[in-house]
Structure 1
Amino acid sequence: MPHLRPGGFVTPRRDKRPLPRIPVPAARAVVDCAVYVDGERRHGRVSYRDALHEVRSNAEGFVWLGLHSPDDDQMEDVGRVFGLHELVVEDAVNAHQRPKLEVYDDTQFLVLRTVKYVEHESMDKASEVVETGEIMIFVGPDFVVTVRHGEHGGLAGVRRRLEESPASLKLGPYSVMHAIADQVVDSYLDVTDLIETDIDAMEEDIFSPQAQTNIESIYLLKREIVELRRAVSPLATDLQRIGSEHDDLINVEIRRYMRDVLDHTIKAAERIASYDELLSSLVQAALGKVAMQQNIDMRKISAWVAIAAVPTALAGIYGMNFEDMPELDWAFGYPTVLLVMVTVCLLLYRTFRRNNWL
């Protein structure tokens, strides 16, 4: 039946087919787009179509287009303008790619996983330690297209630093790729430093005799280390390819810079591998500590049960209603039995204390 609306009665829509999706212009995903000539940015905001047309018409400079989380239609339009292969266009839309380097003719496609340390009061209260995202870089002879997924790892700072250093931008579009890779890899080292602090605190807690050990927090941190390892370790192989002397697409100076980034990546990967091994050892130590605590608790319980068994047995015996039982008619029989109970219990307590059972 019709539904009442502020403007009157509206007949409900009977066609249950999904409404056609309205395409969102690619410009909505653009963070920044600029033309760089001789290391200097051309002033004025231009579309990426006009920017690429300007560069190719004048046969100088390059375009740097920055995108944030584009959808299928937006990325397809960018791919058509810059001549990107359809496979890498699909990868750029679908996040959660592994770090990789692919070469399509004169275009290189580099995927970097970004990481961010999530602040927390303690590991017991943390639900996440490392937040990951992605940056995808398309580099051609006269353009750089960067696609970022995630709420961290913004490239505005990288662009600003490069614009303040025209000598770097003069090296061409691959200088942008180096600057982005350098920032991402430096963040790996920063995150590993912060994680090391968490591991040190956890290690101190595990080997403190009176502290309660939360094994779940160790497993949480180990899971985050595994995620971090997946983001960092595969990148070393791809950076070796970029820094190779046989890569004719990149000039010699950029290859030297990329080898420095490779060194930092290997350093971060080695740190992460050592943290993984250390956490495995901490898991074993924590399990051993829990098992030892359980043994101590069982010894205490067994000792108290043994002490309680003496009065229980005597009370059970004298609680039976038989006439011919020893000392039933003796005036001091009752206090004597109580005294025997207390004496035996004290002797047992002393023995257990001496043997560190209590």
Structure 2
Amino acid sequence: MLINCAAYQSGKKLGDVAVEDISDYLAKPECFVWVALKDPDAAEMATMQEEFDLHALAIEDVMNGNQRPKIEEYGDTLFAVFHTIEIGDDGELVMGQVNVFAGRNFVLSVRHRTQQGFQDVRARCEREPDLLTEGAGFVLYALIDSVVDRYMPVLDVLSGEIEELEDRIFEKHGAAASRAIIEDLYSLKRRLVILQHHISPLVEAVGKLVGGRIPQICVGMQAYFRDVYDHLVRVSNVIDARREMIVTAIQVNLGMISLAESEVTKRLGSFAALFAVPTMIAGIYGMNFQEIPELHYRYGYPVCLGVMAAIDVILFFLFRRAGWL
């Protein structure tokens, strides 16, 4: 569906225009048209293809809706694809796609599966008429910059989850809770990998607008695209750092599990030793021999029990001092 269609001239908005009047404004000097679509059907895209003379392969990519982030040139028109990332109600990542056609005198943005629109980008551009005189190049920058800025809140949420899981690692809990922590850490790592998968290609794509042969539409805007590129590199580095933190957290959690198991083993060994000494003494006196010391002594039985109890008491305090009990 059509979200917005407006014409601009010399950095100022002329007004909203009808789709059938787009060609009239494209013919005006120093004038460009900015059209925004959301989940368009084939008929709407066919109309835009006719109005802006768009390449058929780019239109096919838009309709497929599952393209990796990229920036391609079709003659004098730039075709950019980048992904939006939002967090759903269930905590999972929701991926959207934004396609942008930027020509000499027009910008066409098409978004799929994206709840948040770009009205704020349009308002920002209209507040900066000096930059808006750059035309399609500035609008393309503003759209990419807005998408990149929306990555950071998502990354902040995931970073908060990492810190919460790190705190849980050092709490006393059972085997079931330890397993749940590992599952949550792995789920978090999986989401970071997905995030990196959608951001890394965009780093390479935007890099083409910074150095080397700059497309004509972007000439004069290199400093702005370099700023976006720096933000993307920073986001990518933060993701790598968070993934390393998760790997370390998993290793620490496994180490805590091993320590807990070691404590249990020591306690069981200590209790086994407390029972082993009386069992050994009772076993000796239970052997079928006539010449056993104190066998016929009147107080042999209580003395034997006393010796067992005394040894166990001594062992108990020794184990307690060693921290085994």
Normalising by structure 2, report the TM-score: 0.82
Quickly say closer, same or farther: Cα 1:74–1:314, change in 2 above 3 A: farther
1:244 aligns with 2:216: no
Q: What whole-Å deviation, never above 9, does each CA across 1:199-255 have from its counterpart, x for those lacking one?
A: 34444444x364775222221221122122122222222112112362242243322
1:43 aligns with 2:15: yes
In the other structure, the counterpart of 2:321 is 354
CA contact (8 A) 1:65 1:144 kept: yes
1:34 aligns with 2:6: yes
In the other structure, the counterpart of 1:258 is 225
SS in 2 for 1:284: helix
Q: Point out where structure 1 has 5 or more consecutive residues left out of the alignment.
A: 1-28, 120-126
Tell me which of 12, 27, 31 is aligned to 1:61.
Answer: 31
The 5-angstrom pairing of residues 287-326 of structure 1 reads 287-309=254-276
CA contact (8 A) 1:35 1:51 kept: no
In the other structure, the counterpart of 1:79 is 49
* Aligned partner letter, 2:83: R
Aligned pair count reads 319
* Aligned partner letter, 1:155: F
Inter-partner Cα distance in structure 2 for 1:109 and 1:153 = 21
Inter-partner Cα distance in structure 1 for 2:291 and 2:109 = 96
Q: What whole-Å deviation, never above 9, does each CA across 1:250-280 have from its counterpart, x for those lacking one?
A: 2433222111111211122222222222222
Q: What whole-Å deviation, never above 9, does each CA across 1:96-144 have from its counterpart, x for those lacking one?
A: 432111111111111112223568xxxxxxx636443222211122221
CA contact (8 A) 1:243 1:259 kept: yes
Q: Which moved more, 1:93-102 or 1:71-80?
A: 71-80
Quickly say closer, same or farther: Cα 1:313–1:166, change in 2 above 3 A: same
CA contact (8 A) 1:114 1:153 kept: no
In the other structure, the counterpart of 1:93 is 63
Tell me which of 199, 209, 217 is aligned to 1:232.
Answer: 199
1:192 aligns with 2:159: no
In the other structure, the counterpart of 1:22 is none
Quickly say closer, same or farther: Cα 1:333–1:129, change in 2 above 3 A: farther
* Aligned partner letter, 2:262: N
Residue 158 of structure 1, CA deviation: 0.7
Quickly say closer, same or farther: Cα 1:323–1:138, change in 2 above 3 A: same
Quickly say closer, same or farther: Cα 1:94–1:307, change in 2 above 3 A: farther
Inter-partner Cα distance in structure 2 for 1:43 and 1:270 = 42
Residue 342 of structure 1, CA deviation: 3.6
CA contact (8 A) 2:99 2:111 kept: yes
Normalising by structure 1, report the TM-score: 0.75
SS in 1 for 2:254: helix
Inter-partner Cα distance in structure 1 for 2:215 and 2:82 = 22
Residue 316 of structure 1, CA deviation: 8.3
1:173 aligns with 2:143: no
In the other structure, the counterpart of 1:278 is 245
Inter-partner Cα distance in structure 1 for 2:120 and 2:134 = 19
Tell me which of 88, 98, 117 is aligned to 1:135.
Answer: 98
In the other structure, the counterpart of 1:70 is 40
Identity rate, percent: 34
Quickly say closer, same or farther: Cα 1:109–1:318, change in 2 above 3 A: farther
1:154 aligns with 2:154: no
1:112 aligns with 2:82: yes
CA contact (8 A) 1:62 1:172 kept: yes
More helix by share: 2
* Aligned partner letter, 1:42: L
